[in-house]
Structure 1
Amino acid sequence: MDLFSRSWSALRAAVADTPDEDFARPSGCAGRLVRDLVCHLVIDAQDVLITLVTPATTAPTADAVTSWEPVEPPTGDDPLDALIPRLAAAYGDPGLLRFHLDDVGSAAGRAAELADPAALVGTRGQVLTAGDYLSAYVLEWTVHHLDLIAHLPAAARPPAETPAAARGALERIAVAPFPASFTDEAALLVGTGRRAPTSEETAALGPLAARLPFVLG
């Protein structure tokens, strides 16, 4: 729960500090501009709010690791993927998009702080504890923070403890560790297909290299 708050607060602060002109730059998420990524974060924040007020009465069917499912790389055919760039562009003024994320994102952050970690919630056909649901987002927020700053070298990086936690989550999803020679950020970027491994990294990865990237949804 604490890592959720830290990673989410850091990501929102990084967006708040992003100059207007940088919203039209590419992000680290293939095919998405920074403004598209921020629009995606608004939708994610809405999902957090909806899920935390959607109680479930059955036993958990997933946890912070098993709630992630491997998916095919996006092709642009998914209606939501196609909608996000158009919706982001419709904001026009980056300040409006920044304000919307701050407004909805702050509410999502407060809802997470107030949530009972043991409460059962339903989302995407799954039942999880609120604690597991929010813990899963540490991976999401951290990777998207790296996406945000991919081409913004002066931007603030994620707090050190969140890439470490996100790496641990990715390794549990992969059921395999990344080599110790990989930094936490390198493991996340290579592991999720944000960049290709170098020849040295490929050699260090061994059999795991053939299983990359892990595209999760």
Structure 2
Amino acid sequence: MDLFSRSWAALRAAVAEVPDEDFARPSGCAGWLVRDLVCHLIIDAQDVLITLVTPADTEPTRDAVTYWDIVEAPTGDDPLDALIVRLAAAYEEPRLLKFHLDDVGSAAGRAAKLADPAVRVGTRGEVLTTGDYLCAYVLEWTLHHLDLIAHLPDAAEPPAEGLARSRELLEKIAGAAFPRSFSDKDALLIGTGRRAPAEAEKAELGDLAAKLPLALG
């Protein structure tokens, strides 16, 4: 849970440092600009708040690994993706997006720190412990941090411990380990299809290459 807080704080800090003109740059998410990604993070923060106050009294059906479903790779044409683009445009000024993310995002961060990791919560029709739910979101925050800085070379990268934990989760989802020669960042980018592997990397992946990319939903 502490790693959730550090990863989330780092991502929000990175957003706060993005110059206004860079909100119109592409992000690492297909079809989304940086402003669209930030709008998505606001909705993510709202989802965290909703989930943390949605207790469940049945046994967990998912954990931090099985929380994720493998879905079709995003194209940017999904109706919800298109809605995000319209919502982001409605903010008009980057400072308003930054303000809303800081407002809702700070509340989500505080709620996570106060949460009991053993309490069971419901989300997306499933039940998890709070600890597993927040652990799953370390992967969400880390991947979106990489998306945020995809075309912003001077921006701060995600925390090293968040990258390492996210790689561990992705390897469990894939059911196989990435080559040791891959950095945590490269394993995440290649594993989720955010970057195509070079020929030498593809050779190192071996049988795992056939399972990639892993689009998570």
Regarding TM over 0.5, the answer is yes
Partner-residue secondary structure (3-state), 2:146: helix
Q: Residue 30 of structure 2 contacts residue 74 of structure 2 at CA under 8 Å; is this kept in 1?
A: no
Contiguous gaps of at least 5 residues in structure 2? none
CA deviation digits over 1:165-187, x for unaligned, max 9?
A: 10000000001000001000000
d(CA) in 1 for partners of 2:101, 2:58:
32
- Cα deviation for residue 30 of structure 1 reads 1.4
d(CA) in 2 for partners of 1:28, 1:71:
17
* Number of residue pairs the alignment of both structures matches: 217
Partner-residue secondary structure (3-state), 2:128: strand
Name the structure 2 match of 1:90.
90
Q: Equivalent pairs: percent with the same residue?
A: 77
The letter of the residue matching 1:5 is: S
Quick check: 1:79 aligned with 2:79?
yes
Judged with a 3 Å threshold, the aligned counterparts in structure 2 of structure 1 residues 151 and 77 are, in CA distance, closer, same or farther, namely closer
The letter of the residue matching 2:10 is: A
Name the structure 1 match of 2:192.
192
d(CA) in 1 for partners of 2:82, 2:158:
28
- Cα deviation for residue 28 of structure 1 reads 1.0
- Counterparts of 1:29-44 in structure 2, within 5 Å, are 29-44=29-44
d(CA) in 1 for partners of 2:103, 2:189:
29
TM-score, reference length from structure 1: 0.99
TM-score, reference length from structure 2: 0.99
- Cα deviation for residue 77 of structure 1 reads 4.4
- Cα deviation for residue 207 of structure 1 reads 0.7
Quick check: 1:100 aligned with 2:111?
no
Moved more, 71-80 or 175-184: 71-80
d(CA) in 2 for partners of 1:77, 1:24:
19
- Cα deviation for residue 79 of structure 1 reads 2.4
CA deviation digits over 1:81-126, x for unaligned, max 9?
A: 1100110011000000010000000000000000000000000011
Contiguous gaps of at least 5 residues in structure 1? none
d(CA) in 1 for partners of 2:79, 2:122:
23
Name the structure 1 match of 2:10.
10
Name the structure 1 match of 2:160.
160
- Cα deviation for residue 76 of structure 1 reads 4.0
- Cα deviation for residue 18 of structure 1 reads 0.5
d(CA) in 2 for partners of 1:39, 1:188:
22
- Cα deviation for residue 75 of structure 1 reads 3.8
- Cα deviation for residue 58 of structure 1 reads 0.4
C-alpha RMSD of matched pairs (Å): 0.7
Q: Residue 39 of structure 2 contacts residue 88 of structure 2 at CA under 8 Å; is this kept in 1?
A: yes
Name the structure 2 match of 1:125.
125
- Cα deviation for residue 128 of structure 1 reads 0.2
